[in-house]
Structure 1
């Protein structure tokens, strides 16, 4: 009897306290949060989930009113660094933004923006026509390089100069498709903010024709893939701009596209591209061309030697 009584008396002492229960529950919630965190991040940037940024600031002031709490801008900056597209952002863009997606979009805009101007009618076809894929550009002596340094303020900051096409590196993962689609949809809903993401997606759709182009861009360190295969990356970019129009009068890559097409279509580069595609596209073709050249040179030398020998005997 005394043993049973002692066991009953000891039982309540073995039960966890309220603080221990709370700690256990918080530990479980943290584990769940770590699992759901990437999904929540992308849900916060979906166009249909946006709420006014001013309301978020009001809620932040009410919920986190003590002095030690981080500011709203610090929280937003920490939020942006979770995405590969904005991980290099060090300052919240200035200006009035409607919501979080608008602010995210503003942080992607290149610092050096070209002046918008009207395009002459004869140039519209040249601008709106798709540029060649990466393989065709390489064959026509266009040097595709990774853009870096202080001149690269965003992955949208493409440039072309003297046959050198510089493209900032972009990391493509499972969330890139959803994120780019929401940014493009936002630009379609609010044309006055520009069509930077739409134009970029259209440009990459032109440069990437299939998995071979993706592999080439990866070798050039322009594209880093977190997907299963190059085919998936090509499919992603080829489907972004379906039923989406790019206005040539608002195209921030107008000059870049025009210069790339002009360089690619020059007679000298077209001849070089044809020679490269037909005779140097694979090692066996290159060996055949080199063997033919050597045979031609040897035949010419033999013929010249025979002529000289005939003249000497005469």
Structure 2
């Protein structure tokens, strides 16, 4: 089972020198993937329920630096040569899909095919309101955008006619290295897992309570994949636990988890980042 690191883009992980140091150390220490998440907008007193905490509140302070993940990951990619990079997650319905398709293909090209696009439908109505995108039907908008982006990546001259995305005979270059970028769906609900089964390349389960929680979610995902006519083994599974324990590795691997993602904040001193990453890796070897 691979080990990922979700440590870039927020707070101390939003500093260029720290991104550079963490990325290099993670590659040298054998991490498989560097992950970075997204929020365009934060508010001080959100009424929206954060779905990844029991109290419904996001732990990140509203005034924390939060780097755009595409830009932050480009810094990480430039500092490395082999480690994967992934958004975990980009809130796709808040963006123009043609622009995201170009940004993602550009990052994939410049990184040598190392990019995976983790996406989510979003949970903060305040964020959608600030951007001017309807909060309602954001799941349908996301599915439409994914289909539109795949048309752009696959076809030299692309056309797409959907409910939320429409274009005809356009060229968007560069193309991804493999004419496709893996799309991983975030979210831990049955509806999110159904999106994975229906059109996703993988699932990024975030802040899951424990291994039993992972087991229940994976069982649901496998059932939904079979109902959709897909082999569950073809779906990439990455998970992050609230309190991961190295003793859990064996059972997670048996469940079909391909990557365990450690979520942590790096030190603010870049000179300490290498030892910090190496210690994390040693704990999980």
- Range of TM-score over shorter length: under 0.3
TM-score normalised per structure 2: 0.26
Bigger fraction of residues in strand: 2
Bigger fraction of residues in helix: 1
Query: Which structure has the larger Rg?
Result: 1
TM-score normalised per structure 1: 0.24
Relative contact order: is structure 1 or structure 2 higher (C-alpha 8 Å, sep ≥ 6)?
Answer: 2
